[in-house]
Structure 1
Amino acid sequence: MIYRFRRFIRDLTPPRLLSLGFLAVILIGSVLLAMPVSWNPGQHVHFLDALFVSCSAVCVTGLTTVPPGDTFNLFGRTVLGVLIQIGGLGVAALSVMITLIMGRKIGLKARQVLSTAMNFTGVGGLINFLKILLRFTLIYEVTGAILCFFVFVRDYPPLEAAGYALFHSVSAFNNAGFDIFGGYDSLLHYAHNVPLNLITMALVIIGGFGFFAMWDMGHCKFRWKKYTLNTKIVIVMTVLLLVLGTALLYWTTDQTLLEASFQSVIARTAGFNTHPLSNFTEAALLIFTVLMFIGANPGGTGGGIKTTTFFAVAMKAVSSTMNGDRDEVFYRKIPNVVFTQALTVFFYGLTVITIGTILILAFEGDLSLSAVLVEVTSAFATVGSTVGITPGLCPASKIVLMICMFIGRLGPLTIATVLAFKGKSEAHFTEESIMIG
């Protein structure tokens, strides 16, 4: 039996093994959260809700059907925090880290899975990069927790404030958006607390910035000319989306500049809230939805189709309408395969959101299109922002959102690879053009 299981695992492709790893963690987390040992006195959590919360935590989304602070005790919150950390770093990264701690060697299969999970080219230097990543994560989460402690200690006893600070730091850095303050208010009570807003924004930006880009910036000693093309695009897109998002949200809502800036950061893809989305105008909801869909940078803890994907699609659209059709930026030419991958991710992302929105609208006849579109996009982009409809959804709608979260966390290309069954064929058909536009 053990031999068959090992053979089954050995024969799995890295994307399928990675998917099974995430599913296993989600199921284990749901069992733990569904046990009375995780609940506050007087609370009861149905298994579907436990499964939903576990899926949301591992997929670092933040959508929840029960208020975590009111529902779960210290043990349950610890389980939730661990699931968020596993989801942020990735199941493959965590398993490799445990193997390293135990002093064992990392096999080729584990390196391939880790490369798939982190979108790392090749396997050389991967373990050293992982060690740097773990140190980097620990430093920023501990620093964030210490800074948050001085904010929360004003409202809670020191030991309780330390727990809130650590959970909030882990949740923010991993772009999860979970909070344990009680209710569904998120950070509404701290909307005008400048230090906590700035700390949270910094953790979200750093976590979603992309570990490869951060490493490249440090390795090149912050000299622009030496950055890779990926890092340059990441920096430009991050600044552009943050500034543009802040300006548009400030213009289309009654938010303060601090609130608009916070929401612009959170849309990429953390899910905290200092201004209720239910109070947003339709224009602001559309802007927020677009920001969620684009998401964070590749190689980070955020979701969405990623900034580089959107950049590649936009660049190809612009360059194809200009003379020469030259796909060049920052004195570099982008390979055609990159545009093919970008368009594939873009298409599958839109497809998942469209199908998810249609299904939930069919299941929930009394909900508006804008509310459902925000919810589904938030799930797919692993944001966690909501207009408040999640707890009241029917079981079928909750399952749809869980599927969207799972696909969004692993990535449309990974899921497509998992489901693909390629057959060998030497036949090629005659090429023929079609009319476009």
Structure 2
Amino acid sequence: MKLIEKIKPGRIIVLGFLIVIILGALLLKLPISINEGVDVSFVDALFTSTSAVCVTGLIAIDTADTFTVFGRSIVALLIQVGGLGVTSVGVGFILLLGKRIGIKERTLIKESMNLDTMKGLVRLVKAVLAVTLTFEFIGVILSYIVFSQDYKPLDALGISIFHSIAAFNNSGFDILGGFQNLIQYKNDVLLNLTTCGLIIFGGLGFLVIKEILVKKSFKKFSLHTKIVLTMTTLLLIVGTVLLKLTEDISWLGAFFFSTSARTAGFSTYSLSNFTNSGLFVLVILMFIGASPGSTGGGIKTTTLFTLYKSIYSTSTNKHCSAFKRTIPTSVVFKAFNLTILALLVVCMGTFVISIIEPNYTFMQLLFEVTSAFGTVGLSTGITPGLNDLSKIIISLIMFIGRLGPMTIATIWSFKEASSAYYSEETVIIG
């Protein structure tokens, strides 16, 4: 116990995710989890567990065709734990047992949710759990209306529960079989809009949802919420228009992909038929991702907004501000650092896998790696054909994407920053 108290919160969070992933892989390897006559290697079980906990949705083996009801339930549970965060789930159990939340637990919550204060953390965790269950319950009801038309009542209920959990947690898993995802429902307006609604709210972040429910006025929202809502709306519109211009798909399909590409990973059209321009639009959306404190990945909408504002303010010799508020310099530095680290992960991952997998095109591999980093789950169909080493690398990228490159980078820091520093000297830039 004393050893755990000495470990930094960031390392505990990383360790917690690792333990859940390994435990999930072991559970998925059990005979009770696998359909009769199907063989699952440990690498594929680990890949599936990582994809579920990191709420990604990339699959090397089809979930429905491979796993039993028990196995699918494990996948759904891993998605739920991964979406809420290991820390939030753990705190939820502590609250259910009626025990007090200590300083260590509060610090973990603060770190895992990227908060700048420990005020009201227990209330926040309770709100997160309540919001999650409410949205998922609504999703189950609306999804059941659609799935009950094609499946027996009990099967339709199981599919609806799984789909709602996966959609709200921005994970592109499905249990419809045949690697088809939602292609057969590409013209179903209710399922498309239900899925998009769950993805959007799941990707906004719990703090934003709470502000929307409590304050109910854009003028009263915090700067963070204003940026998230503005960027989410803008990216949905721009993504829809660009995908409609580049691909032969319906407006509903374009809107669905514009929504899904920002970390959800559901498909209503086969991406193997997309042009390079359409795939590149999706790559950009996947790289940007959802918003901080949400179930999604990517560099986040607020990071992109801060980058834009910083560049604009530098070019026009103005203060970096938005909505009549100045953005702190420390936030600008963090945005640039995060983006550079993210680009390094994607570039290095694509380069290494390009060497290992010479049979695939550069765009296919870039798409796969970006999808893994953004914890999206979209694929051009090459995932099952990757060799074990590539799957392990993709798993590592999913892990980095879920926790964030900044979190992974800072866990190696063993000392506090020194207050002493060298004298300044200018450097010529540009």
Correspondence for 1:183: 178
Is it true that 1:409 corresponds to 2:402 in the alignment? Answer: yes
**Cα distance, 1:163 vs structure 2:** 0.2
The more displaced of 414-423 and 151-160 is 414-423
SS in 2 for 1:186: coil
Correspondence for 2:292: 298
Provide, for residues 384-415 of structure 1, a one-character-per-residue CA deviation record: whole Å limited to 9, x for no partner.
00011111111111111111100110111111
Separation in structure 2 between the aligned mates of residue 288 and residue 76 of structure 1, nearest angstrom: 31
Separation in structure 1 between the aligned mates of residue 187 and residue 364 of structure 2, nearest angstrom: 26
Separation in structure 1 between the aligned mates of residue 377 and residue 330 of structure 2, nearest angstrom: 32
Provide, for residues 328-371 of structure 1, a one-character-per-residue CA deviation record: whole Å limited to 9, x for no partner.
11111111011011111111100100110011001111111111
One-letter amino acid matched to 1:50: A
Separation in structure 1 between the aligned mates of residue 383 and residue 124 of structure 2, nearest angstrom: 38
Separation in structure 1 between the aligned mates of residue 429 and residue 173 of structure 2, nearest angstrom: 44
Correspondence for 2:281: 287
Separation in structure 2 between the aligned mates of residue 281 and residue 318 of structure 1, nearest angstrom: 32
Correspondence for 2:387: 394
**Cα distance, 1:426 vs structure 2:** 6.4
Alignment of structure 1 residues 3-402 onto 2, 5 Å: 6-220=1-215, 222-323=216-317, 325-402=318-395
Provide, for residues 76-135 of structure 1, a one-character-per-residue CA deviation record: whole Å limited to 9, x for no partner.
000000000000000000000000001111111011011111112221101001111111
Separation in structure 1 between the aligned mates of residue 415 and residue 395 of structure 2, nearest angstrom: 27
Given the superposition, is the C-alpha separation of residues 97 and 426 from structure 1 closer, same or farther in structure 2, using an over 3 Å criterion? closer
The more displaced of 211-220 and 300-309 is 211-220
Which ranges of structure 1 fall in alignment gaps of 5 or more residues? Answer: 1-5
Correspondence for 1:419: 412
Separation in structure 2 between the aligned mates of residue 93 and residue 188 of structure 1, nearest angstrom: 34
SS in 1 for 2:411: helix
**Cα distance, 1:423 vs structure 2:** 6.7
SS in 2 for 1:428: coil
**Cα distance, 1:428 vs structure 2:** 3.2
Separation in structure 2 between the aligned mates of residue 47 and residue 145 of structure 1, nearest angstrom: 32
Provide, for residues 263-287 of structure 1, a one-character-per-residue CA deviation record: whole Å limited to 9, x for no partner.
0000111000001111111111111
Provide, for residues 35-93 of structure 1, a one-character-per-residue CA deviation record: whole Å limited to 9, x for no partner.
11101111111111000000000000000110001000000000000000000000000
SS in 1 for 2:407: helix
Contact 1:269 1:292 in 2 (8 A): yes
Given the superposition, is the C-alpha separation of residues 259 and 86 from structure 1 closer, same or farther in structure 2, using an over 3 Å criterion? same
Separation in structure 2 between the aligned mates of residue 399 and residue 182 of structure 1, nearest angstrom: 24
Contact 1:115 1:126 in 2 (8 A): yes
**Cα distance, 1:425 vs structure 2:** 5.2
Given the superposition, is the C-alpha separation of residues 37 and 366 from structure 1 closer, same or farther in structure 2, using an over 3 Å criterion? same
**Cα distance, 1:7 vs structure 2:** 2.0
Output the aligned Cα RMSD.
1.1
One-letter amino acid matched to 1:418: I
Separation in structure 2 between the aligned mates of residue 393 and residue 117 of structure 1, nearest angstrom: 32
Provide, for residues 193-252 of structure 1, a one-character-per-residue CA deviation record: whole Å limited to 9, x for no partner.
1111011000000111111111112221x2121110001101110110000000000001
Q: Percent identity?
A: 47
Q: TM-score, normalised by structure 1?
A: 0.97
Given the superposition, is the C-alpha separation of residues 310 and 259 from structure 1 closer, same or farther in structure 2, using an over 3 Å criterion? same
Separation in structure 1 between the aligned mates of residue 420 and residue 8 of structure 2, nearest angstrom: 26
Correspondence for 1:3: none
Separation in structure 1 between the aligned mates of residue 338 and residue 416 of structure 2, nearest angstrom: 22
**4+ residue runs of structure 1 moved beyond 6 angstroms?**
none
Aligned residues: 430
**Cα distance, 1:434 vs structure 2:** 2.4
One-letter amino acid matched to 1:356: G
Contact 1:120 1:126 in 2 (8 A): no
